[in-house]
Amino acid sequence: MHYAEMLIRRLRSDTHFSNDDATAIKALPLHVKEVPEETPIAREGDHPSACCMIVKGFACRSKVADTGKRQILSFHIPGDIPDLQSLLLKTMDHDLVTISAATLAFIDHSDLSRLIDARPTVARALWRETMIDSAVFREWIVNLGVRSASARMAHLLAELRQRMAAVGLVSDGEFQFPVTQAKLAEALGLSTVHVNRVLQDFRGKRVLDIRKNLVTLTDVAKVFAAGGFDPTYLHQVNGAHPG
């Protein structure tokens, strides 16, 4: 199976590639690697020489403040290229770590560089990916800045569901997602105790449930409403994923 197809499909969601563009992408040398849970892909201060696409599994980006507290900045799912920014910013300003066993397809910066210099359309599609990443960060700022604990939780899960759906990983309102309450707390700027209580509340109200790597949105409409979720910022062009 050709992993480059996955990349092309992703970038094509908004952009039309010529045959030459597609050929150039398919010609990219990919280095596929299977890694276990909690594998650091890049650490703050590193100077990576490759980017990676997540083929299978999950990762998150995080940053440790001087107080020692860790803040999770984003979660990443199959199809994402979570460290594309390292192509332009030579020093990592945060960590990127897998949160499950994962299959990663690495692309050397040198190859990517050549590609984007030669093929403006591809460059633009990749740039656009990083801009959506940026839009998600903006929404997380809103999430942390103005929403209550329960709204934050609902919003985070609504976003995740929406992105998972776009790659066909949601069925029956359920999706695999390997996250502990401690990680949710680090993503939402809450204590684990409070996360636990918020979850219990949602569970009791039959809105959503998280049980051992499985997120169930019992009532998606209520989740969206509780989080004040408007998917516009994800800039998804197509609706649901075909099968």
Partner DNA sequence: CGATTTGTTGACTAATATCAAACTGTGTGG
Partner DNA sequence: CCACACAGTTTGATATTAGTCAACAAATCG
Single residue of 39, 150, 187, 224 touching DNA by CB under 7 A: 150
Q: How far apart are CA 149 and CA 61, in angstroms?
A: 21
Identify which range of 24-32, 49-57, 142-150, 154-162 contacts DNA by CB under 7 A.
142-150
- 131 is a contact residue toward a copy of itself (CB under 8 A): yes
- Crossing angle of helices 120-146 and 149-166, in 10° steps, is 160
63-92 positions binding a copy of itself, by CB under 8 A = 63, 65-67, 69-71, 73, 85, 88-89, 91
Tokens of 240: 């649901």
- The edge-to-edge listing of strands for the beta sheet with 102-108 is 30-35, 102-108, 50-56
15-54 positions binding a copy of itself, by CB under 8 A = none
Single residue of 138, 205, 206, 241 touching a copy of itself by CB under 8 A: 138
Single residue of 33, 70, 194, 222 touching DNA by CB under 7 A: 194
- 120 is a contact residue toward a copy of itself (CB under 8 A): yes
Binding mask 197-226 for DNA (x = CB under 7 A): x-xx---------x-x--------------
Q: Which residue has the tokens 């990680």?
A: 183
Minimum distance from residue 152 beta carbon to a copy of itself (Å):
10
By a kind-dependent CB cut-off of 5 to 8 A, residue 132 interacts, out of a copy of itself, DNA, none, with a copy of itself
- 94 is a contact residue toward a copy of itself (CB under 8 A): yes
- 192 is a contact residue toward DNA (CB under 7 A): yes
Binding site residues, a copy of itself, CB under 8 A: 61, 63, 65-67, 69-71, 73, 85, 88-89, 91, 93-94, 116-117, 120, 123-124, 127-128, 130-135, 137-142, 144-147, 151, 186, 188-189, 228, 230, 232-233, 235
